Amino acid sequence: MTQIVSNVVLANQLTGLKIKPIFFPNQYIAQLIPKDIADMRFIVYHKSYPDIKISVYLDIYQNLGYVGKPYWEIYPDVQGEPKRFLINKTEDLVRNITMSLDIRR
């Protein structure tokens, strides 16, 4: 968790964006996948079910071009599809990640 918060702080400093820190409930683990600061990627999983994972991607510079501004993307969502969230919608992001993990157990 600390590493994701640290990377969000670094992204804010480098880009001037106001990205909120992301906090998951204690039973979930978020693991950063090293890349670069322009697109932060990590996986989230439940401690009791480490084989069920949700991929989370932060596109700061709209490298994929789906939204037109910085956004988060998770895969799979509750319907098994990618789902996108504006960068300041971290509560919605966490809620959708935990719901998606919970239905796959």
Q: What is the pLDDT of residues 40-77, one digit of tens each?
A: 788 899 999 999 999 999 887 777 777 888 889 999 99
Shortest CA distance to 1 belongs to which of 38, 35, 44? 44
Which structural domain range is residue 58 located in?
2-104
Higher pLDDT, 85 or 29: 85
Q: What is the pLDDT of residues 6-46, one digit of tens each?
A: 556 666 666 667 777 788 888 888 887 766 655 678 889 99
Q: What are phi and psi of 67, to 5 degrees?
A: -115, -30
Structure tokens at 64: 């994929």
Structure tokens at 11: 């992204």
Angle, CA 25 vertex, CA 23 and CA 26 arms, to 5°: 110
Higher pLDDT, 3 or 48: 48
pTM of the model: 0.80
| Number of independent structural domains in the chain | 1
At 41, is the secondary structure helix, strand, or coil? Answer: strand
* pLDDT for the residue numbered 88: 85
Q: What are phi and psi of 22, to 5 degrees?
A: -110, 125
